[in-house]
Amino acid sequence: MTRSSLTTPPAGAAVPSPEAGGPEPGTTLGSHYSRCFGCGTEHPTGLHLAARTPDGATVEAEFTVGEAHQGAPRLAHGGVLAAAMDEVIGMSVYLFRKPYVTGRLETDYLLPVPVGTTLHLRAWCNGIVGRKAYLEAEGRIGAPDGPVAVRAAALFIEVDMAHFAEHGDVAAIAAEHHDYEVNP
């Protein structure tokens, strides 16, 4: 992966232990918002990622490129592929049970991805320092050990739920995150 210093964990960055209270190995991770372009089950043309963690530390998901995801004729749009990487990385940092947002996303495109292809996505954490999480992902064509079409490295920043309430839609958050207190 070609990456900048901004997405490279500094020396001493700790990779959190999968035993730190996150989801058990084998757990399916739910959608964080039904209308999310990446994982929402109610989004008509979204990516519909349904992620799981095989080991409590990494996340896997599949994305089948559809008609709505084209850039060049019959080929996936690069921005859509970046969105898939952003989403699967976002799900991997969700394993730490704190809200994070993308600060920076770097993407390498290695192969064109035709419509109808299923990309096998995998994301993992390379370290956390303070509010900064250093993460990585890859998308392989056709099988978990297929050719790598896309790689990404990212810096995610920890926020609190007030971030989403202040800048987004409090009612939608409360409707889908039943443990979220609107007026704590």
User: Strand 100-109 relative to strand 148-158: parallel, antiparallel, unpaired?
Assistant: antiparallel
Does position 155 bind ligand DCC by CB under 6 A? Answer: yes
Site track for ligand DCC across 84-123, x = CB under 6 A = --xx--x--------x-xxxx-------------------
The single residue among 32, 48, 120, 151 that binds ligand DCC, judged by CB under 6 A, is 32
At residue 49, the 3 state secondary structure works out as coil
Q: Taking a C-beta distance cutoff of 8 angstroms, is the pair 54, 18 a contact?
A: no
> Residue 176's CB: how many other CB atoms inside 10 A?
16
| Torsion-angle region of 60 (φ positive above 0: left; ψ -120 to 50: alpha; else: beta) | beta
Rounded Cα gap, residues 119 and 139, in angstroms:
6
At residue 9, the 3 state secondary structure works out as coil
Does position 132 bind ligand DCC by CB under 6 A? Answer: yes
The single residue among 1, 157, 170, 174 that binds ligand DCC, judged by CB under 6 A, is 157
> Residue 14's CB: how many other CB atoms inside 10 A?
10
The single residue among 111, 115, 159, 170 that binds ligand DCC, judged by CB under 6 A, is 159
Q: Positive or negative CA dihedral for 5, 110, 15, 94?
A: positive
Task: Name the one range near ligand DCC by CB under 6 A: 8-16, 41-49, 145-153, 157-165.
Answer: 157-165
Does position 52 bind ligand DCC by CB under 6 A? Answer: no
Site track for ligand DCC across 1-30, x = CB under 6 A = -----x------------------------
Chain residues that interact with ligand DCC, rule: CB under 6 A: 6, 32-33, 86-87, 90, 99, 101-104, 131-132, 155, 157, 159, 164, 173, 177
